[in-house]
C-alpha cells in the first residue's frame, strides 16, 4: 500500500512539475519478452527512505496466450523510518503498442490480482524497462525509474 502511495505521489509530482517528456532517448528496436521468464531489478527514488528496491519477474511470451503471461512484483524499502513490510503483487501482463511520442514503442501493462494499481513499463531496449505514467508518457527523470534485466 505504501509503495503504491509513494509511486503515485512521485508520479503526480512529476506530472505537476511538467516532467512528462515527449521524446524517447535512445529507443532501440530489439526483441522483447521472448523467453519464458524475464527478471528485472532496480531502485526507485523514495522521499522518506534511501530507495525502493523493485524486483519484477515476468513469465510468458509476448505472443503467448494472455492467461499464460503472469508477473510478480516485490518492493522493499531501504532505511525507511517506519520500516514498512515488503510489498508483493502478482497478476497478469499485457503488451501495448505505442506511446504518444513513439508509435512503435512496446509497453508492458502489469495488472495485479485483486486490489492494486496497474503498472506500466516501457521497453527501452532488450535489457531495460522504464516505469512510465498511465498515459504511457515517460518522465524527464526516467533514468531513475529504470529496471535492468538480470
Looking at residue 27, its pLDDT comes to: 40
Separation of alpha carbons 102 and 139, rounded Å = 14
Looking at residue 32, its pLDDT comes to: 55
Separation of alpha carbons 28 and 42, rounded Å = 20
Nearest to 124 by CA among 17, 60, 64, 40: 40
Q: Where are the domains of the chain?
A: 2-149
Looking at residue 16, its pLDDT comes to: 31
Q: What is the CATH code of the structural domain delimited by 2-149?
A: 2.40.128.640
The model's pTM = 0.76
Ranges of residues in the chain with a pLDDT under 50 are 1, 5-6, 8-30
Nearest to 59 by CA among 16, 84, 91: 91
Looking at residue 4, its pLDDT comes to: 53
Looking at residue 100, its pLDDT comes to: 95
Looking at residue 66, its pLDDT comes to: 85
The string of pLDDT tens digits covering residues 85-100 is 999 999 999 999 999 9
The helix (run of H) or strand (run of E) holding residue 96 is: strand 87-97
Amino acid at each position: 500500500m505504501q509503495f503504491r502511495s509513494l509511486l503515485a505521489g512521485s508520479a503526480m509530482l512529476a506530472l505537476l512539475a511538467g516532467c512528462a517528456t515527449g521524446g524517447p532517448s535512445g529507443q532501440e528496436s530489439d526483441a522483447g519478452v521472448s523467453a519464458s521468464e524475464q527478471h528485472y531489478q532496480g531502485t526507485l527514488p523514495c522521499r522518506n527512505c534511501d530507495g525502493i528496491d523493485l524486483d519484477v519477474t515476468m513469465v510468458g511470451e509476448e505472443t503467448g496466450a494472455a492467461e499464460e503471461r503472469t508477473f510478480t512484483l516485490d518492493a522493499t524499502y531501504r532505511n525507511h523510518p517506519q520500516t514498512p513490510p515488503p510489498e508483493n503483487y502478482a497478476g497478469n501482463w499485457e503488451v501495448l503498442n505505442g506511446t504518444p511520442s513513439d508509435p512503435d514503442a512496446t509497453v508492458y501493462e502489469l495488472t495485479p490480482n485483486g486490489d492494486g494499481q496497474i503498472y506500466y513499463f516501457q521497453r527501452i531496449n532488450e535489457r531495460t524497462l522504464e516505469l512510465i505514467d498511465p498515459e504511457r508518457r515517460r518522465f524527464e527523470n526516467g533514468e531513475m525509474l529504470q529496471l535492468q534485466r538480470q
